[in-house]
Structure 1
Amino acid sequence: MLVVDRLIKKHQTRAPFQIASDLGYIIISCPLYNVRGFYQYMKRNHIIYLDESLSYEDARFVCAHELGHSLLHRGANRIFMDSRTFMVGSKYEREANLFASCLLVDDSELVDLAYCGLTIDQISNELSIPKPCVEARLLK
């Protein structure tokens, strides 16, 4: 994913918290109900909200996912689309998941684990990325 490659090259890291900080994003950890995280652009501030009950690994993935929304779907008003239209946001969610998994895990690392004979579940656990993201990456 070209946008991810450029981001990694520019920031010299795959760490989503570091990249978000470098970009001037505000990260807020707070209680969220039925949501693991979300991105908001308000008054010229980029804000990523993360549910405070997430493990570090889950928070890292959710931060990368929300970073993906902020960079890939800048003009989209997801809250409006979800509550006022029949447009399905699943395309945006798949794109943000792919962004997050590409940011967190290099292709070669993923392929190496697959060649070692690990199952998709084992790879998912080893890399701390959701199983559907592993499947999508291995099938692309």
Structure 2
Amino acid sequence: MWIKEIVESLVEKHGTNDPFKIADAENIYVIEQDLHEEILGFYKYIRRNKFIFINSNLSSNEKLFTCAHELGHSKLHPRTDTTFLRSKTLFSVGKIENEANRFAVELLMLDENLYKFKNTNLTIYDAADLYSVPKEVCHLKKI
């Protein structure tokens, strides 16, 4: 539950769950760059500065999830440079990547938003689609 608590604290502090706005408020530089097609993004810590790099060729939904994922690294693993978030390995990853995925899922799929769908036919996969979360990681959501 510690990841969810960190997310809730950030959302409360900044009044948004938009990872781009949170990164800006936390003085984390977000840089869009033309990266190899397999690379979605990565996080770097350089001389007390935090950077999120996002592939500029991604769709807006992919950029949102990638920013949320890399923001997760900046909050959960602040001094650890992460390996590239690759499109082909996004879903079969180690502990650090799994934690960043969980952070992104919790940030983009807030409980209060999901409760709105409680008495509807919407599935978790439908909700994931609405909130720019890849279906392959929506199972990480804890309600």
Q: Same fold (TM over 0.5)?
A: yes
2:40 aligned with 1:2:
no
Give the structure with higher Rg (CA): 1
RMSD: 2.0
Structure 2 residues without counterparts, runs of 5 or longer:
84-91
> Which deviations, in whole Å up to 9, do the C-alpha atoms of 1:91-136 show, x marking residues without a partner?
1111111111111221132354364222343232222211133222
- The partner residue of 1:66 within 55, 63, 70 is 70
> Which deviations, in whole Å up to 9, do the C-alpha atoms of 1:33-61 show, x marking residues without a partner?
12100000112211110000111121111
Letter in 2 for 1:57: N
Correspondence for 2:33? 30
Correspondence for 2:137? 133
Output the CA distance in 1 between the equivalents of 2:9 and 2:76.
Answer: 13
Taking structure 1 as the reference length, the TM-score comes to: 0.82
Output the CA distance in 1 between the equivalents of 2:123 and 2:50.
Answer: 37
Answer yes or no: is the 8 Å Cα contact 2:43–2:82 preserved in 1: no
- Indicate the SS of the match to 2:71: helix
The change in CA–CA distance for 1:68 and 1:57 in structure 2 (over 3 A counts) is: same
- Identity score, percent: 37
> Which deviations, in whole Å up to 9, do the C-alpha atoms of 1:64-95 show, x marking residues without a partner?
1101001101243444xxxxxxxx95211111
Q: Provide the aligned length of Structure 1 versus Structure 2.
A: 131
Moved beyond 6 Å, runs of 4+: none
